[in-house]
Amino acid sequence: MSKINSETSYILGALRDATFDIRKSKNYELKIAQKEVSWLRYLQKIFRENFEISGNITKHINGTEILRIHGRKSVEKIFNISEMKIPQEYWDTPSIIKKQNMELQFDYLCGFFDAEGGLPKDPLNAKQRYISFSQKNKESLIFIRKILVKKKFRPTNLTFCGNVWEFRLTRKNDIIDFCSNVRSFHKDKIRRLKLLKRACFPQIGGGALPGVERAKLPKIYSRVT
């Protein structure tokens, strides 16, 4: 398979927050745990429309919700497309993403951000304003960083801190541009992106901030088969 759509590109980035439990002839399961249940419902929709399986969302003992996808055929298909490696520090960017155009690669970046991206919890009062990407796998961050550089962002260099690799966007204009262009579907991150943009650009005032609303999916190029 060489062609994928925007939803599949996004989900491949979002899978950075997933775990696979595959035991040959015994168990085939994909799990994504999150406090933001609306995001899990959105991922569930993508799985249903592109992989013909939606799984179930259940409550977890620690207050999070878990999306569970079961079934050998579906889980193996998702696992193979994602090229997931265990442990995740060996999980490079899926080769199918590297073959796509810039728009679809940016969809992948958006899913990656919703899964693993960071920004201040209280952007209006934060001493530091930033957008961050962190991951144990270095190559995956190099790829994300290259996408941003091609889009004229000026990210920091990669550093190894706290047992993970990380880079940030710290320049005011880069933060504003990222907040305006990222297509986030994670309710809490959408809220904080709005506040972060307002903190960097206070003259916007209290109205809606363009580009940081719950995004509509871009044109679908092809359905995964």
Count of CB atoms within 10 A of residue 116's CB? 19
The whole-number pLDDT of residue 87 equals: 85
What values do phi and psi take at 219, rounded to 5?
Answer: -50, 135
Q: Strand pairing partners for 117?
A: 133
Per-residue pLDDT of the chain (225 residues; tens, 9 = 90+): 567 999 999 999 999 999 998 877 778 999 999 999 999 999 999 999 999 999 999 998 788 999 999 988 999 999 999 999 988 899 999 999 999 999 999 999 999 999 999 999 999 999 999 999 999 999 999 999 999 999 999 999 999 988 999 999 999 999 999 999 999 999 999 999 999 999 987 654 444 444 554 444 333 333 322
Is-same-fold flag (6-92; 106-204)? yes
Q: Which one-letter DSSP state was computed for residue 202? A: G
CATH class assigned to 6-92? alpha beta
Which pair of tokens denotes residue 97? 């993403």
Q: Which one-letter DSSP state was computed for residue 84? A: -
CA–CA gap between residue 162 and residue 50 (Å, rounded): 36
Rounded to two decimals, the pTM is 0.88
CA–CA gap between residue 11 and residue 107 (Å, rounded): 9
Nearest partner of 24 among 79, 62, 82, 102, judged by Cα: 79
The whole-number pLDDT of residue 86 equals: 83
CA–CA gap between residue 211 and residue 15 (Å, rounded): 24
CATH of 106-204, one of 3.10.28.10, 3.20.20.100, 3.60.15.10, 3.40.50.720: 3.10.28.10
For residue 66, give the H/E element and its range: strand 65-70
Domain parsing of the chain, residue ranges = 6-92, 106-204
